[in-house]
């Protein structure tokens, strides 16, 4: 009996030795050896986002006729002195006046906007802004992309996005540390609802201003309403692009839809075209921009 026990014990020991010899990890007498724990590589610390400067010392403005203050002072002409962004008119109290003071506006601000410009024109404007090495660039662009003769001529959203992304890349290539304030595209349907109660507005709009939205302004039929809603939906889509693309840039601030949501009235519209901002409208745009840019 004892001989058989010794035999079984010897066989078990030999089997265990063979198993241990063929295993990938070593064995101990009591339990299999645990695999060594690999030391994890240290994780790189994320770079802190650059802090936003609420008092930039120079301002470049890019955009369209709204930033050029078209029809704000006289018929069919730019009036950059009352521009919301870089104007010198103390009644408007432009963004540049508020940030720089009257003594520096002439030498430390640049209005590079162009009446009639669309988003496809923004990359060239941004390259020009970058050459000035400004601490802040303001962007108000997109109304002309929606204000076409008919809705089918509006700039496709994908093209709008591509041009805006290219514009920011142009700025970063020449002025990597410049801050950017991006204003939302105004609510053109609200503009229609405000101006259509004015006999002057109705007559002026017949000349072809922003036909996609303002043509047949007195028509309240379903086809006209669908047309206006299509334009408004496109503006909403443009603003979504501005917000999302800006959010990817640590030095960019979108206005949060402030311009789009502003409840302007007839007093903020040009008396000549009932479309562009008046002096008072320019002052309201300056207030909205200053409030967003100086948020801590």
- List pLDDT tens digits, range 15-37: 333 333 443 333 344 444 555 55
Token pair of 12, please?
């078990």
Helices (H), 53-196: 65-68, 95-100, 105-108, 122-131, 143-146, 157-174, 188-195
Is the pLDDT assigned to residue 11 strictly greater than 60? no
pLDDT in tens, 138-155: 999 999 999 999 999 999
Q: What is the pLDDT of residues 157-200, one digit of tens each?
A: 999 999 999 999 999 999 999 999 999 999 999 999 999 999 99
| Cα distances (angstroms) measured from residue 27 to each of 10, 38, 152, 189 | 18, 19, 76, 79
Q: What is the spatial distance between Cα 195 and Cα 6, in angstroms, rounded to a whole number?
A: 108
How much is the average pLDDT of 235-261? 98
* CB contact set of 138 (below 8 Å; sequence gap of 6+): 59, 60, 61, 62, 63, 67, 85, 95, 180, 181, 183, 289
- Cα-Cα-Cα-Cα dihedral of 105, 106, 108, 111, to 10°? 90
Q: For 269, which DSSP code?
A: B
What Rg, from alpha-carbon coordinates, does the chain have? 32
Which pair of tokens denotes residue 62? 């890019």
Per-residue pLDDT at 207 exceeds 70: yes
Helix axes 122-131, 157-174, angle to 10 degrees: 10
pLDDT of residue 22: 40
Least confident of 19-23, 76-80, 244-248: 19-23
Exposed/middle/buried for 243, CB within 10 Å: 0-12, 13-18, 19+?
middle
Q: Is 277 helix (H, G, I), strand (E, B) or coil?
A: strand
């Amino acid at each position: 009996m004892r001989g058989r026990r010794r035999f079984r014990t010897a066989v078990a020991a030999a089997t265990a030795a063979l198993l241990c010899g063929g295993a990938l990890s070593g064995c101990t007498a009591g339990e299999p050896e645990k695999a060594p724990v690999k030391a994890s590589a240290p994780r790189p610390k994320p770079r802190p986002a650059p802090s936003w400067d609420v008092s930039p010392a120079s301002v470049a403005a890019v955009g369209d006729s709204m930033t050029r203050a078209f029809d704000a002072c006289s018929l069919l002409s730019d009036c950059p002195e009352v521009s919301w962004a870089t104007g010198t008119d103390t009644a408007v109290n432009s963004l540049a006046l508020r940030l720089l003071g009257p003594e520096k506006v002439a030498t430390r601000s640049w209005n590079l906007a162009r009446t009639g410009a669309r988003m496809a024109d923004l990359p060239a404007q941004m390259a020009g802004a970058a050459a000035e090495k400004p601490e802040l660039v303001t962007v108000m662009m997109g109304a002309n992309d929606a204000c076409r003769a008919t809705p089918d001529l509006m700039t496709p959203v994908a093209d709008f996005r591509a041009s805006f992304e290219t514009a920011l890349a142009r700025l970063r290539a020449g002025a990597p540390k410049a801050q950017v304030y991006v204003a939302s595209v105004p609510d053109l349907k609200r503009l229609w609802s405000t101006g259509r109660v004015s006999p002057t507005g109705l007559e002026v709009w017949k000349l072809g201003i922003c036909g996609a939205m303002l043509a047949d302004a007195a028509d309240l039929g379903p086809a006209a309403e669908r047309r206006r809603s299509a334009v408004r939906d496109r503006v909403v889509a443009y603003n979504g692009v501005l917000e999302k693309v800006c959010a990817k840039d640590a030095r960019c601030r979108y206005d949060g839809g402030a311009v789009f949501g502003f409840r302007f009235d007839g007093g903020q519209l040009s008396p000549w075209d009932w479309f562009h901002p008046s002096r008072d409208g320019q002052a309201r745009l300056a207030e909205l921009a200053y409030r967003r840019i100086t948020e801590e």
